Amino acid sequence: MSLISVVQDVCVLVGVERPSAIFAAITTDRTAQEMLATANEMVAQTAFDYRDWTALIKTATIPGDGVTTSFPLPGDFRRLLIDGNIWSSITPQTPLVFISSFDEWIYREAGNYWIYAGQYIIQGNNILIQPPLPPTATVKFAYVCNNIVNNNNAVPHGVSDRFMSDEDTTVLDERLLKLGMIWKWKYDKGAPYAEDMGTYTDALMMRAGKDQPAPIMVNRVPLMNSVRATVAYPWPLPTP
């Protein structure tokens, strides 16, 4: 469903007049303005705030040169995965250590204190990695991208983080956008919205459950994590 189709359905269900267009009327039609703002908010909220949707996951590889320690993040980078790490070809069983404090990073930089496995911190649109990666080394990570809207009228066809024409579509399920816009519109207008929010949440959880297969659990630990633990630390897993 295109943006205009979603908006028209939402308007019927919330009791306002259906606009014939969004962007053509954006400067004069208050409903079109509010619907566009609601659509952009809900498409972003659904895409980024609940889970790592497989449709939005990408990977990046950074090659080392023995000197560089600051590397630009991908142009469509939004954030690392919730359970994401950065993996080096030098120590494939141990991820780079994330330094969450810039004060700690400066302290380590001043003392040239860097562990062999490597450390990183994100600054603006760059990722800083220490010690420098050797020329033969690479690091790789998965991330959530910003490409949540198909800009169907763009030339050439593109993707972005917001709607740019009436014919744009969402990368994720359009029904989630519609249900989200319904409760958000009612919430913003001070109307009862709890039931509509519940419908959206139920649909969101159902879609999320189908997005990735459930892991096989061994002693309450996902099997893939158990395998990694066995490889990295060769002692028996605990038995029930």
Instruction: Spell out the domain ranges in the chain.
Output: 56-145
* Element at 40 (helix H, strand E): helix 30-48
What token pair was written down for 113? 């204190």
Dihedral over Cα of 170, 175, 180, 186: its sign: positive
pLDDT score for 239: 47
> How many other C-beta atoms can be found within 10 angstroms of the C-beta atom of residue 56?
19
pLDDT of residue 214: 56
Amino acid, res. 133: L
Predicted structure pTM score: 0.83
CA distance 197 to 184: 8
What tens digit of pLDDT does each residue of 20-34 get? 999 999 999 999 999
Q: How many CA within 13 A on the CB side of residue 145?
A: 18
If one counts every other C-beta atom within 10 angstroms of the C-beta of residue 223, the result is 11
Q: Quote the CA–CA distance of 99 and 122 in Å, as a whole number.
A: 9
Contact at 8 Å (CB) between 22 and 36? yes
pLDDT beneath 50, residues of the chain: 226-240
User: Could you say which DSSP state residue 99 is in?
Assistant: -
